[in-house]
């Protein structure tokens, strides 16, 4: 079974009358009348990209289906605005986009930050566009809306060593995926080398959790290029030196750290690569330089399919985005539906348990069926979609 044999349920493109920038919204499917998926902003964002991401969200939701949990998976959706987030006009475009898609946000589409946007910015723009919240469509599904909203607001107010809990849970899940694959392979955490592309919400949190687990972060890339140190970078110093877009102030580098070209993170001497920035970062040409054993997808669609096939032939495994980076989305719902409280330790423990179980299951299936982890994750999602659809329907 495919997720949407006839294409997405809703697919639209909006044009900003003031600037000409375009924005897209794709709702892949609804469960109980509601879908979930972040909103991204980047120059050249296309409807095709948003369509793929919306489908990925359907699978991300269903992979976390727990028949005993309070949170029931929603459908998948995604929004994308074709505009450089650093453009001075960007905020105005964001507000006008949200105003245009407001009926969808009110009824069908719960959204939040994704590439190029922070949750603070999405919240501010949503309020300006006349919305109660970017996730208000899910409120009718909650038992006690007031308590649930308070719990989520309390969770968002939590800060752990200078970073908000909402910006940490996703990376916690990515890091646990890395640790799970290392454990299955019998590779020690301590000293295992990792290179990360992107030091924003996902890459930054992933780097923190991996460094704290004893791994050596030998390279990180941001929009300005790669910084590297084979002996290990000072991750906390880099995190503290980021601006609001996840760009590291190079003044924070130590004398032994090196500034290298944009693609250098890919060819770093490391066991694990974590692409946590843009889609299509690993292609058929640059994959040839990769020597790592595992690529763990924190970003959405960072490895193009043809490159993945070439990597698989060389014995390099790609852990797929739909599982690896699903922690943030699931955490919102675990918190809102009441599976967990507004507590960082509880959130990290729950995220770790859920991610380890999911990644273990995917890797076991991949081994048993001699398929890639991505094919195994898709097979798992395909098994669960009809179960969820049958039990909860799309509009019930
Ligand atoms: N934020 C979330 O909750 C979340 C959840 C799941 C998946 N994702 C995915 O993770 C990826 C990153 O999202 P984010 O929210 O962390 O973004 P972000 O905007 O917070 O950070 C992006 C980082 O990538 C860097 N970057 C941007 N373009 C680059 C380039 N061409 N080369 C190298 N570095 C570049 C930026 O400098 C920054 O450090 C996206 O694919 C997003 O869809 C995000």
The whole-angstrom distance between residue 299's C-alpha and the CA centroid of its chain comes to 6
**What pLDDT, on a 0 to 100 scale, did the predictor assign at position 396?**
55
pLDDT tens-place values along the chain, 396 residues long: 444 456 899 999 999 999 999 999 999 999 999 999 999 999 999 999 999 999 999 999 999 999 999 998 999 999 999 999 999 999 999 999 999 999 999 999 999 999 999 999 999 999 999 999 999 999 999 999 999 999 999 999 999 999 999 999 999 999 999 999 999 999 999 999 999 999 999 999 999 999 999 999 999 999 999 999 999 999 999 999 999 999 999 999 999 999 999 999 999 999 999 999 998 999 999 999 999 999 999 999 999 999 999 999 999 999 999 999 999 999 999 999 999 999 999 999 999 999 999 999 999 999 999 999 999 999 999 999 999 988 888 765
pLDDT of residue 141: 93
Mark 223-251 as b/e (b = at least 16 C-beta within 10 Å): eebbbbbeebbbbeebbebbeeebebeee
From the CB of residue 25, how many other CB atoms can be counted at a distance below 10 Å? 28
Q: Work out the number of other CB atoms within 10 angstroms of the CB of residue 263.
A: 15
Interval between CA 198 and ligand 1 midpoint (Å): 6
Sort 92 into a burial class: Cβ within 10 Å, 0-12 / 13-18 / 19+.
Answer: middle
Phi, psi for residue 274 in degrees, rounded to 5: -125, 95
What is the four-CA torsion angle of 350, 355, 358, 360, rounded to 10 degrees?
-120
- Spacing, Cα 386 to ligand 1 middle (Å): 32
User: Could you tell me if 323 and 358 are in contact, meaning their C-beta atoms sit under 8 angstroms apart?
Assistant: yes
The minimum-distance atom of ligand 1 relative to the CA of 301 is: 41
- Please tell me the predicted confidence (pLDDT) of residue 5: 56
Mutation choice for ligand 1 from 57, 118, 246, CB with most ligand atoms inside 8 A:
246
The pLDDT score that the predictor gives to residue 4 is 46
Answer whether 171 contacts ligand 1 (Cβ < 6 A): no
Distance CA 119, CA 94 (A): 13
User: Mean pLDDT, the chain, as a whole number?
Assistant: 96
| Cβ–ligand 1 contact at 119 (below 6 Å) | no
CA dist., res. 385 & res. 396, Å (int): 16
So what's the pLDDT on residue 394?
77
The Cα angle at residue 335 between residues 175 and 123, in degrees rounded to 5: 90
Separation of alpha carbons 89 and 105, rounded Å: 22
* Helical segments of the chain, H only: 47-63, 90-100, 102-107, 119-128, 145-156, 169-185, 201-212, 235-240, 305-313, 321-324, 327-337, 344-369, 373-392
Residue 277 Cβ < 6 Å to ligand 1:
yes
How many residues are listed for the chain in this entry?
Answer: 396
For a mutational test of ligand 1's pocket, the pick from 54, 201, 252, i.e. the residue with the most ligand atoms closer than 8 A to its C-beta, is: 201
Domains of the chain: 10-141 (3.40.50.10860), 167-378 (3.40.50.720)
Say which DSSP state 338 is in. Answer: T
Q: Is 223 in the pocket of ligand 1 (CB under 6 A)?
A: yes
CB 209 within 8 A of CB 171: yes
C-beta atoms surrounding 269 within 10 Å:
12
Q: How many CB atoms lie within 10 A of CB 150?
A: 12
Q: Are the beta carbons of 111 and 83 closer than 8 angstroms? A: no
Q: Chain centroid to CA 197: how far?
A: 13
- Show Cβ contacts of residue 362 under 8 Å, excluding neighbours closer than 6 positions: 319, 320, 323, 373, 376, 377, 380
């Amino acid at each position: 079974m495919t997720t949407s044999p006839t294409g997405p349920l809703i697919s639209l493109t909006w044009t900003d009358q003031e600037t000409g920038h375009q924005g897209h919204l794709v709702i892949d499917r609804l469960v109980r009348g509601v879908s979930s998926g972040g909103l991204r902003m980047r120059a050249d964002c296309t409807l095709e990209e948003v369509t793929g991401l919306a489908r990925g969200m359907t699978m991300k939701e269903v992979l976390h289906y727990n028949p005993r949990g309070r949170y029931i998976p929603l459908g998948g959706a995604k929004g994308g605005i074709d505009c450089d987030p650093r453009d001075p006009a960007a905020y105005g475009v964001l507000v006008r986009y949200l105003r245009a898609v407001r009926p969808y946000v009110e009824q069908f589409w719960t959204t939040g930050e994704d590439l190029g946007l922070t949750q603070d910015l999405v919240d501010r723009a949503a309020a300006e566009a006349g919305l109660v919240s970017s996730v208000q469509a899910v409120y009718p599904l909650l038992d006690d809306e007031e308590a649930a909203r308070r719990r989520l607001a309390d969770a968002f107010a939590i800060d752990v060593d200078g970073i908000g809990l909402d910006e940490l849970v996703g990376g916690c899940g990515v890091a646990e995926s890395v640790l799970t694959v290392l454990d299955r392979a019998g590779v020690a955490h301590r000293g295992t080398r990792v290179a990360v592309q992107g030091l924003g919400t996902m890459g930054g949190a992933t780097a923190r959790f991996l460094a704290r687990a004893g791994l050596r972060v030998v390279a990180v890339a941001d929009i300005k290029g790669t910084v590297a140190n084979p002996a290990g970078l000072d991750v906390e110093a880099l995190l503290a030196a980021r601006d609001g877009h996840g760009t590291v102030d190079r003044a924070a580098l130590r004398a032994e750290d090196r500034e290298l070209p944009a693609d250098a993170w890919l060819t770093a001497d490391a066991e694990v690569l974590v692409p946590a920035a843009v889609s299509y970062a690993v292609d058929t040409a640059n994959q040839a330089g990769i020597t790592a054993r595992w690529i763990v997808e924190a970003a959405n669609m960072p490895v193009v399919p043809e490159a993945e096939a070439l990597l698989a032939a060389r014995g390099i495994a790609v852990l797929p985005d739909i599982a690896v980076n699903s922690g943030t989305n699931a955490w919102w719902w675990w918190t809102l539906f009441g599976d967990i409280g507004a507590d960082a330790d509880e959130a990290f423990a729950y995220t770790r348990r859920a991610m380890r179980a999911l990644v273990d299951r995917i890797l076991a299936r991949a081994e048993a069926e001699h398929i890639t982890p991505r094919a195994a994750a898709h097979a798992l999602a395909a098994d669960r979609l009809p179960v969820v659809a049958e039990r909860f329907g799309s509009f019930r």
